[in-house]
Structure 1
C-alpha cells in the first residue's frame, strides 16, 4: 500500500498494490498547472481511496480530462481522464519511498525552453498509446 497527501493534509489517499512507472508530461497544460512538468503514475480507480474528497476541486482542462487539486492549499493531486478506469496521481504527493522511477517522458515537443531532458528515460514528442 502507498499513501500520500496534499501539502496541508486536507486530502489524503491510499493506493493498493504496486505503482506503475510514472510518466513525466511536458505539455503546456501540465507545465502551467504544476509549475514544471507533471509526473504522475496511473492507477486503477478501484485501487485508489481518497480521504477528504470534499476538499478536492476539479478543473476540466479539456473535453477528455479533468485535474484535481486541494481547495485548501492548492496542491496538484490528480489527472483524471473522463470515461477511463484509471486516474493519474501526482508523484510529488506520495509519501516516500514509492519504489518506482520515471518510465517515460511524453509531449516533449511542448517542453519548456528553460530545461533539458538529460536522463536516459524514453522520450515521445506526443504520447504513446496506453494499454489502459
Structure 2
C-alpha cells in the first residue's frame, strides 16, 4: 500500500498495489505544467483510491489525455487517458518510501536545452 497527497493535503490517494518503476517524461506539456520533466508511475484505476476528488480539476491537454491538479494548491497529480485502464500518478506526490527507481526517460527529443540526461537509463 502506498499513500500520497497534494501539497496542501486537500487531495490524498492510496494505491493498493506495488508501484511500477516510474518514467521521466520530457515532453513540452509535462515540462510546462511541472516546471521541469515529470516523473510518474502508471497505476491501475482499480488500485487507486482518491480522497478529496471534489478538489481535483481536470485540464484537457490533448484530445485523448487530461491532466489532474489540485484546485487549492495547484499540485499536478494525474495524467489521465480516460480510454485506458490506468492513469499516471506523480511520483513526487507519494509519501516515502516508494521502493521504486526511475527506469526510463521518455520524449527525450523534446527535453529542455538547459539540462543533460546523464544517468545511463534508457531514453525513448
Residues 42-100 of structure 1: CA deviation (Å, up to 9, x unaligned) = 01000000000000000000011000000000001000012100010000000000000
Q: How many residues matched?
A: 124
- What is aligned with 2:117? 117
Cα offset for 1:120? 1.4
Residues 86-128 of structure 1: CA deviation (Å, up to 9, x unaligned) = 010000000000000101100000000000001011001xxxx
- What is aligned with 1:81? 81
What stretches of structure 2 of length at least 5 have no aligned partner?
A: none
What stretches of structure 1 of length at least 5 have no aligned partner?
A: 125-132
Residues of 2 paired with 1:40 and 1:5: CA distance? 14
Residues of 2 paired with 1:119 and 1:37: CA distance? 14
Residues 13-62 of structure 1: CA deviation (Å, up to 9, x unaligned) = 00011000011000000000100001000010000000000000000000
Other structure's SS at 2:62 match: coil
- What is aligned with 2:71? 71
Residues of 1 paired with 2:101 and 2:120: CA distance? 12
- Give the 4+ runs in structure 1 shifted more than 2 A: none
Indicate yes or no: 2:36 matched with 1:36: yes
Residues of 2 paired with 1:24 and 1:97: CA distance? 18
- What is aligned with 1:17? 17
Residues of 2 paired with 1:14 and 1:121: CA distance? 28
Q: Mapping of 1:41-56 within 5 angstroms?
A: 41-56=41-56
